[in-house]
Structure 1
Amino acid sequence: MGESSISSDLIRGNIDTIILRVLCEGDNYGYEIIKSISKYSQGQYELKEPSLYTSLKRLESQGNIASYWGDESQGGRRKYYTVTPQGRKTYHHNVNAWKMGKKLIDQLIGSGEGDE
Structure 2
Amino acid sequence: MIGADAIRGHIDLIVLAILQTRDSYAYALSRDIAEGSSGQYPIKQTTLYTALKRLESQGLLDSYESTSDTGRPRTYYSLTTAGADQLAALRLEWHATRDLVDHFAKGTDLS
Structure 2 length normalisation: TM-score?
Answer: 0.88
Q: Which amino acid aligns with 2:102?
A: D
Q: Write the deviation string for residues 69-111 of structure 1: whole angstroms up to 9, x where unpaired.
A: 0046965411000000110111111011010111122223432
Structure 2 residue aligned with 1:56, among 48, 52, 55? 52
| Aligned twin of 1:104 | 100
Q: How many residues align?
A: 109
* Bigger radius of gyration: 1
Root-mean-square deviation over aligned CA pairs: 2.0
Structure 2 residue aligned with 1:65, among 45, 61, 65? 61
Structure 1 position 42, deviation (Å): 1.2
**Structure 1 or 2: larger strand share?**
2
Structure 1 length normalisation: TM-score?
Answer: 0.84
| Aligned twin of 1:44 | 40
Unaligned runs of 5+ in 1: none
In 1: Cα distance, 2:23 partner to 2:47 partner:
19
